[in-house]
Structure 1
Amino acid sequence: MKKIISTIFACFAMLVLLSFDAQAQEALKQKPSPLGMVTYSFEDTYVKVTYGRPHLRGRESFTATSELAPLGKVWRTGANEATEITVTDTINMAGEVVPAGTYSVFTIPGAKSWTIILNKDVGQWGAYKYDEEKDLLRFEVPVSKSDQLFEPFTIRFDQVEGEVSLQMIWANTMVSIPIEF
């Protein structure tokens, strides 16, 4: 009888340990900057942006000394993997022609304007291997201030009176990229 009770106890203990191990494994998989995705459709054209959503957590962004997104340096435009945009048909972004395809999105934040970069090299981690030679295009957009504070970096589509823009917002800094279909 002692042997049966010992066996049952050992099995129970093993199940408890496995349960804790599974919970620990799941906690390790969760990224501190969760994945975000936004989409917009117009007629037969579909635009999707996939990006990591870093949070400020008391830190600064868009300053010369920021570790998150320093002014004047190429930024992955989010966290983790480089942000990617997919378009299913040709669109115009800030007057620039963007053919159908998937591109990495990099930016160079500035105090008054940002350089937006669409790069043909997709699947990158961060901007560590960013190669300017693979840029599809670059253009500038002005910086504005958001009326509200955004703790997580946020990318969204905004439509006002038939005009569509892709907005990138963090803290109270915002850039809007006009899109034409």
Structure 2
Amino acid sequence: MKTAVLCLALTVVSLCAEAQITFRGVDASPMDMAYFPDRFTNVRKDGETAKVRVTYSRPAKKDRPVFEKLAPYGKVWRLGANENTEIKFYQDATIQGKKIKAGTYSLFAIPNEKEWTLIFNSDLDYWGAFKYQEKNDVLRVTVPVKKAPSTIEHFSIQFAGEGNQGTMYLGWEDALVEVPMTF
């Protein structure tokens, strides 16, 4: 009987301890995913598979000067917030006539006022761009910057296109970058 009471008491204490967990609020820069085709999951019911997926965190402008403080011109930026942004190609792709093999890469940018250099790098799973090493770059492309039609509050990545031709759009503040890809 004493054993049963002791077990019951331990169970109650254990449940009370677990029930006291406090969940933190929403991350200031929540994680998001962008697929091509847009709004995709890895495999659709019709059997079509995704061609590319980007996993990134979405920092907010919050009345801050983005390209002076958060993603300074001329410096390697993690293309988002928190952990470095990762791009997964489910099949080989071509960007500006340059081939990139199917696989997962970190995605960085060197933003400038008129153009951005996008960097696909083989290093994965680390925070920010603090450990970025140019020697591990797999592909670099330079893309022009356009003026966004309105201010983009949260850094955003989205895909558009059809069939084997898609465009990855990157936007923040008043900058809009288009990266055409073929698969």
Please indicate the TM-score interval, normalised by the length of the shorter structure. 0.7 to 0.9
Query: What is the identity, as a one-letter code, of the residue corresponding to 1:47?
Result: V
Q: Pick from 26, 34, 38: which aligns with 1:38?
A: 34
Post-superposition shift, 1:165? 0.7
Looking at structure 1, the residues matched to 89 and 165 of structure 2 have their Cα atoms a distance apart, in angstroms, of: 18
In structure 2, stretches of 5+ residues that fail to align are 1-11, 39-47
SS at match of 1:62: helix
Indicate if the aligned counterparts of 2:93 and 2:101 stay in contact, CA closer than 8 A: yes
The answer for the alignment partner of 1:125 in structure 2 is: 127
Post-superposition shift, 1:96? 1.6
Report whether the alignment pairs 1:27 with 2:24.
yes
The CA RMSD measured in Å over matched residues stands at 2.5
Post-superposition shift, 1:45? 5.2
State how 1:1-181 maps to structure 2 within 5 Å: 21-23=20-22, 26-27=23-24, 30-41=26-37, 44=49, 46-63=51-68, 66=69, 68-159=70-161, 163-181=165-183
Indicate if the aligned counterparts of 2:35 and 2:50 stay in contact, CA closer than 8 A: no
Post-superposition shift, 1:40? 1.1
SS at match of 1:27: coil
Q: Deviations over 1:114-133 (max 9, x none)?
A: 00000000112100000101
Looking at structure 1, the residues matched to 49 and 27 of structure 2 have their Cα atoms a distance apart, in angstroms, of: 34
- Residues 116 and 162 (structure 1), Cα distance of their counterparts in 2 relative to 1, 3 Å cut: same
Post-superposition shift, 1:94? 2.5
Structure 1 runs of 4+ with >4 Å offset: 42-45, 160-163
Residue identity over aligned pairs, in percent, reads: 39
Indicate if the aligned counterparts of 2:37 and 2:160 stay in contact, CA closer than 8 A: no
SS at match of 2:21: helix
The answer for the alignment partner of 2:44 in structure 1 is: none
- Normalised TM-score (structure 2): 0.80
Query: What is the identity, as a one-letter code, of the residue corresponding to 2:137?
Result: D
Q: Deviations over 1:75-115 (max 9, x none)?
A: 00000000000011111122221100000001000011000
Looking at structure 2, the residues matched to 45 and 31 of structure 1 have their Cα atoms a distance apart, in angstroms, of: 27
- Normalised TM-score (structure 1): 0.80
Query: What is the identity, as a one-letter code, of the residue corresponding to 1:172?
Result: D
Looking at structure 1, the residues matched to 140 and 79 of structure 2 have their Cα atoms a distance apart, in angstroms, of: 14
Indicate if the aligned counterparts of 2:37 and 2:159 stay in contact, CA closer than 8 A: no
Indicate if the aligned counterparts of 2:37 and 2:161 stay in contact, CA closer than 8 A: no
- Residues 166 and 148 (structure 1), Cα distance of their counterparts in 2 relative to 1, 3 Å cut: same
